[in-house]
Amino acid sequence: MSTYRAYEVTGSRQFRLVTRESRQPDAGHVRVRVEACGVCHTDVLAVEGLRADPGQPIVPGHEIVGVIDAVGDGVRGWQAGDRVGVGFLGGHCGQCEQCRRGDFVNCADQPQVGTTIDGGYAEVVHVRSSGLVHVPDGLGAIEAAPLLCAGLTTFKALQQVAGRPGALVAVQGIGGLGHLGLQYAARLGYRVAAVARGEAKSELARELGADHYIDSTRQDPAEALRELGGAAAIIATASNGASMSGLVAGLAPHGQLVVAGVGADPITVSTPDLIFGTRTINGTLTGSSIENEDNLAFSLQHGIRPMTEILPLDEAPKAYERMMSGQARFRVVLDIAA
């Protein structure tokens, strides 16, 4: 391809479909022909202008599946024709203090795909090779794309849980993250409670693996969780700090509130709820590229799949609006190959 199409964004929601000249990848990078890209809530950082220079065009999107079609100098272990994925973290540097200590997720020199470097609302993307993920043949591009961020985020959150097999784990919010979190939690052997607003998602939650459903409009979630014996962990996926604030009291002793959803408002908590029961609140930020390979392998083996709505690249702005509306069931994916 001598040229390719991409959706750039500037300012706030100012999308523009452009044609770019194709180029060879830089040293340590590969060029990927994109097949599919998920539309994630974190795309707001680019699309709403929540970055250092919103006037500089950027291509959003970080749930990318495609095929390598060119390899830069110094790249080892990857070649043209490899089927790969790319998540939010665009590859660790291997040289900063965090990397030297093996903490690749918190690398101090790691691009954020679709936010600080161009992402996957495009036919072509350039990626640092340390950010690449092998995509197994058993996963199609459309179903694999949301697993690379939404899936990995909830999978990693659940790996922080110290609960024994069969312990109660709650997933708050049944959306893009939560509908995958329920599947992961069930496959990991936990007794699963889904927490959401209204009864509309009750049946779906049980189909996805929930043993219990808590309607937060009819019952205090913390009280409901205490009646079930208390949760070893609550994976909070809703993008709303206020909805998370009352959950801590529903934790069992030594229970964890693991925050996976990013909200603009703060979480407030009563200090006795933390101290009496030795409970904790912690955040979780996706995972490294090799952990993403573990995630895809686990998902393939255990039949974990996203529920998707599919739109072509030409309708990327519409896809973003659909995601932001909260009405999507549950991940919007751009079918770039189509």
Query: What's the pLDDT tens digit per position in 46-73?
Result: 999 999 999 999 999 999 999 999 999 9
pLDDT of 159-168, one tens digit each?
999 899 999 9
Asked if the model's pLDDT at residue 1 lies above 90, the reply is no
pLDDT of 285-312, one tens digit each?
999 999 999 999 999 999 999 999 999 9
Domain 151-283 has CATH 3.30.1540.20: no
Instruction: For residue 198, name the pLDDT band (cuts at 50, 70, 90).
Output: very high
pLDDT of 3-14, one tens digit each?
999 999 999 999
CA atoms within a 13 Å half-sphere pointing along the CA-CB vector of 194: 30
The CA–CA distances, whole Å, from 163 to 96, 273, 322, 332 equal: 33, 19, 36, 32
User: Would you call 95 exposed, middle or buried from its count of C-beta atoms within 10 A (0-12, 13-18, 19+)?
Assistant: exposed
pLDDT of 238-247, one tens digit each?
988 999 999 9
The stretch 106-122 carries a mean pLDDT of 98
Instruction: For residue 263, name the pLDDT band (cuts at 50, 70, 90).
Output: confident
Domain parsing of the chain, residue ranges: 3-149+287-335, 151-283
Helix (H) or strand (E) segment spanning residue 323: helix 316-325
| Residue 302 contacts residue 288 (beta carbons within 8 Å) | no
| Residue 111 contacts residue 58 (beta carbons within 8 Å) | no
What is the Cα–Cα distance from 271 to 107, expressed in whole angstroms? 32
| Residue 114 contacts residue 6 (beta carbons within 8 Å) | no
Asked if the model's pLDDT at residue 179 lies above 90, the reply is yes
User: Would you call 2 exposed, middle or buried from its count of C-beta atoms within 10 A (0-12, 13-18, 19+)?
Assistant: exposed
Asked if the model's pLDDT at residue 318 lies above 90, the reply is yes
Place of tokens 């830069």: 72
End-to-end CA distance of the chain: 16
Query: 0.85 exceeded by the pTM?
Result: yes
pLDDT at 22: 96
Please identify, in words, the CATH class of the domain defined by 3-149+287-335. alpha beta
The stretch 191-199 carries a mean pLDDT of 97
